[in-house]
Amino acid sequence: MISDRFVYADHAATTPVTSHVREAMAPYLLGQYGNASALYRKGREARKALENARRSAAAALGAAPEELFFTACGTESDNWAIKGVAAAHPQKRHIVTDAVEHHAVLRACESLARFGWDVTVLPVDGEGFVDPDDVRRAIRGDTALVSVMAANNEVGTVEPVREIGAVCREAGVPFHTDAVQAAGHLPIDLHSLPVDLLSLSGHKFGAPKGVGVLYVRSGAAILPLLDGGGQERGLRAGTENVAGAVGLSIALTDACAALEESLPRTAARRDRLIEALCAIDGVRLNGSRAQRLCGNVNVSIAGVSGSRLLAALERAGVAASAGSACSAGSAAPSHVLAAMGVPLDLAACTLRLSIGPETTDADIGYLVETVPRVIARLRQ
């Protein structure tokens, strides 16, 4: 039987576009449709909106406007950071990353390896943490870049980015962080954070899909990923998505401004979920309990197939996932859980529930009641 009740618990995959963002974008989808590179009035209006969006997004992140470049998504931002820095340092042939990165980072590094680059993939501990000392030991004289994510998209572990950045600063090596899951959900101040490049994606915090940002600290060497026109100060070719940039800036500003209130509230709801699920026999929490994204719950459930559980939850009106949305449908076990040492049989029995600021106490109550009931039924 399919439930009339619906709870969206997959915010790590994507988030609903907020009403404020929709209203702000509407003019640039309708009457103000000019190309930001055009010199006539509609083009100038579009250019003004684009630069205002850049200033707003930069202010939310503690960056200078000229350090932000609009992209199509987090994957493009990751690829550009890694391949663009590599291209700018042809005399250096070594990159350091870690085993639990998003595939956008890992496969970008694999692409460089096919062209002769040496890639060091660092291990993580049982909670998914990268050890800053491992980063220090991995850096060599020919290291062009270190890339370690800010927070893991599957298990929610928040990495020690500040400490890793300090190691990279001391060694004089550029540091990139994939902050796609962190932006809008954790405080980020790029004025003080020792990061040289940072990637984010708008649809993870209330903006539409199809727009992202790459932050490049002033003075950091990077070459374009895309060849074409001279948009984005000659570094990112392609007609700018003005409406998307406006939406991203509004969503990011709103999310960052609300963090002081929303973060503890969402974390309390997350903890209620974790306590309810971990009270079930054979359930283990994946990722760090203490250093965790405020909306992430990732558990392995002994004896329950992840795919069967997701199907049963959907019939019960719950939208959830087994891990990264980008790997949905893959028969391969999670590379994140494998790197953390989770046994294969448990990795195949994983559930990720990710909530957002609009998730209500009533939604949490429904999840706390429904998920254990579905698990018990499947075990029978």
Catalytic status, residue 326: yes
Continuous H helices in 234-303: 242-278
CA atoms within 13 A on the CB side of 311: 8
Integer CA distances (angstroms), 115 to 62, 75, 226, 283, in order: 36, 20, 18, 43
The CA distance from 310 to 110, in Å, is 31
Query: What are the tokens at 2?
Result: 């399919």
Exposed e or buried b for every residue in 324-341, given b needs 16+ CB within 10 A?
beebeeeeebbbbbebbe
For residue 120, which of 102, 100, 99 has the smallest C-alpha distance?
99
Q: Which is the catalytic residue, given 109, 256, 294, 326?
A: 326
Query: What are the tokens at 113?
Result: 């390896």
Ramachandran class of 154: left when φ > 0, alpha when ψ lies in -120 to 50, beta otherwise: alpha
Residues in a beta bridge with 353:
297
Give the list of residues 6+ apart from residue 376 with CB closer than 8 angstroms, or none.
none
Could you please report the per-residue DSSP string of 24-74?
A: HHHHHHTT----TT--SHHHHHHHHHHHHHHHHHHHHHT--GGGEEEES-H
The CA distance from 299 to 283, in Å, is 6
Catalytic site positions: 326
